[in-house]
Structure 1
Amino acid sequence: SPTPTGRRTVVDMEINPTWIDPDSGTSIPSGPDCPIGYRWIGIGGNYGIHGTNVPSAIGTYASHGCVRMNEADVEDLYAHIVKGIPVDILYERVVVQQEADHTVVYYIYPDGYGKEPLDVSKVKAKLAPFGVASCVSDDDIKQAIEASDGNPRYVAKVYDIYLGGKKLDARAFGKDGHIYLPVMPLARAAGIKADWSSNWNQIRTPYGSAKAVLKNRSLLIDAADAPALLHLTGSLDENYNYQMK
């Protein structure tokens, strides 16, 4: 049974709960045979967030609409919440996260109830607020949609850029051991004239030229080329900001 979407509230919490089968009324006390594990977080009706004695079933369509978690995770969650807090249940196949080191990762989950058909544009719209829509190819997204396996797909690291202490609107990207910079916003901020040659895939400035890649209407250069091309140097600070001067 699908979990009802929308806002609910934690209405009851129980340690070592007894499970009652909603179909037959059979009860199973707390213990290794109890399907809801050792923590129950009720969110109204017969629905709850709980553990499970069959961890391999997590992520499959096997419950009566409850939300199952690994036991260690639900016990940790239980210790950090109280009755009355809101619970928002979303049907969301595409989940995008930014990790502690600023790596953006996305997951695509199966459409078990046929509620959210996906295409490349919809996935890119989810990636856009994180600034990495241009860093993943259409083919890669198509493959991810076809798989819909919920596995993490790492896109790139994203860094805010500061020039002379002032934050720019554009962002830098880290991928495959390189940092890539949006050259045109940097050139404008530094007051440097820059020209793009599509025939040679090069950016030219009064200081020199360098290869550039056009990604989603943004021209990117390798940060290693910035000193010769723009007379600017940069590095990451402890907060994962890319500081340039």
Structure 2
Amino acid sequence: MFLSLPPAPPLAGLVQAYWFVQDLPGDFAGQAIRTSPIPLAVLSVNMGRPNATRDGALVPRVSMLGLQSRVREWRSWSETCFMMAMLTVPGVLRLFPHVQAGGADCLADLGALAGDAAAASLAGCVDAQAGPVRIAAQIDRWLLARLDRARCVPEGMRVAAAHAVLRAGGRVEQAAQAAQTDRRQLQRWFHRHLGVGPKEMADLERLHRSLRDVQSGRGDPLAGFSDQAHQIRNWRRRLGVTPGSYARGGGSALAAQFRPDAGTPGPAFYL
């Protein structure tokens, strides 16, 4: 079962969606699952048999994956069942301030980032026997309670404003202007709160749009790139494949399940 559910309305700008992945019979057992670079962080709650990362380490019960700048690979087993809260940049800034410094591409136990009490309360609030809709509501309540307690970082709104410029295709200089600061300070803020610099964030946003457009067959995969050669270099560097090769070969079964088209809106995450 592969299902995408929206968060509660107050969380709409902070959580892109809740994704449920369940493979109890083990249809994908032993297969290498690949995920793409993505300008989102992922809060995961594992309710079934833990999956394994590429090096064989088991995924924590409750984990946080920072913004992903390169392809990741993990392996599924039978009895796989987990939920992913796809956190936007504003969501990271509001819900998990100060925990992403150096966290890009790192999959960590939530307890190591936000404290054991926070990790235990999240794990405890999820009823593994409940259906996806009820579990989504349970995660909603946990995140809303965290939102009430979390203290806004002073520069959080300025970082979010800069990110909005980059996400729309703006340049780093324009993002710094939107944040009312200079490029050097913006660089420090981005690394402190998101784990990547503004230029790399712009690259991730551009690649994500391009991959999403190729997967869905809609939009313009060249948008934001100076030319096709620029797009191909970016794809090869980040994904290890050209846009044409990927389009001809097609994505994985998981990519097809979550194809970001009008029927199942969502990020281009699975390859």
TM range, smaller chain? under 0.3
Structure with more of its chain in helix, by fraction: 2
Higher relative contact order (CA 8 A, sep 6+): 2
Could you state the TM-score of these two structures normalised by the residue count of structure 1?
A: 0.26
Instruction: State which structure, 1 or 2, has the greater radius of gyration over its C-alpha atoms.
Output: 1
Structure with more of its chain in strand, by fraction: 1
